[in-house]
């Protein structure tokens, strides 16, 4: 009986070892893939930014856009959630907005989608967005 247990444990141990090895390999692949995806997304975002937006982003990790319907200025910060600030005419934060496209996207892709949405369909974007107020 003990020999059968040792064989069962041995084969289970081998299976666990193979599973662990597979997870390490897949995790490394996923990390490398995700890293390349981030770089490509930020490159694409940079191509869509005006020279002024690009300079601001390179320095501060945010850029401003003007809403297509109201002319409101929004500041899009690096990130994927609650990363948009609505600014007053004086440049003060009014509130924060959160809206993201569907899917597991990296920050550069989310920010590009937010930029395009606000610049082309501001009302539609804000209709699905979550608004939060900021303390001054």
Q: What is the pLDDT of residues 69-126, one digit of tens each?
A: 999 999 999 999 999 999 999 999 999 999 999 998 999 999 999 999 999 999 999 9
Residue 6 pLDDT greater than 50, yes or no: no
Instruction: Name the residue ranges covered by the structural domains of the chain.
Output: 3-133
The token pair that represents 3 in the structure block? 């020999």
The token pair that represents 47 in the structure block? 């191509």
What pLDDT sits at residue 4?
Answer: 46
Q: Is the pTM of this model over 0.85?
A: no
Q: Which of 76, 82, 79, 81 is nearest to 118 (CA)?
A: 76
Which comes out higher in pLDDT, residue 108 or 30? 108
What is the C-alpha to C-alpha distance for residues 119 and 114, in angstroms, rounded to an integer?
A: 8
């Amino acid at each position: 009986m003990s020999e059968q247990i040792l064989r069962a444990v041995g084969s289970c141990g081998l299976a666990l070892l193979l599973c662990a090895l597979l997870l390490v390999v897949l995790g490394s692949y996923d990390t490398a893939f995700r890293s390349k995806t981030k770089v490509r997304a930020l490159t694409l975002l940079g191509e869509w930014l005006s020279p002024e937006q690009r300079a601001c982003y390179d320095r501060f990790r945010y850029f401003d856009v003007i809403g297509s319907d109201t002319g409101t200025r929004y500041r899009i910060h690096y990130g994927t959630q609650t990363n948009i600030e609505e600014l007053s005419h004086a440049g003060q934060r009014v509130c924060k907005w959160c809206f993201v496209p569907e899917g597991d996207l990296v920050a550069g892709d989310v920010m590009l989608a937010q930029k395009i949405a606000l610049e082309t369909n501001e009302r539609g974007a804000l209709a699905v967005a979550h608004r939060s107020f900021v303390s001054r």
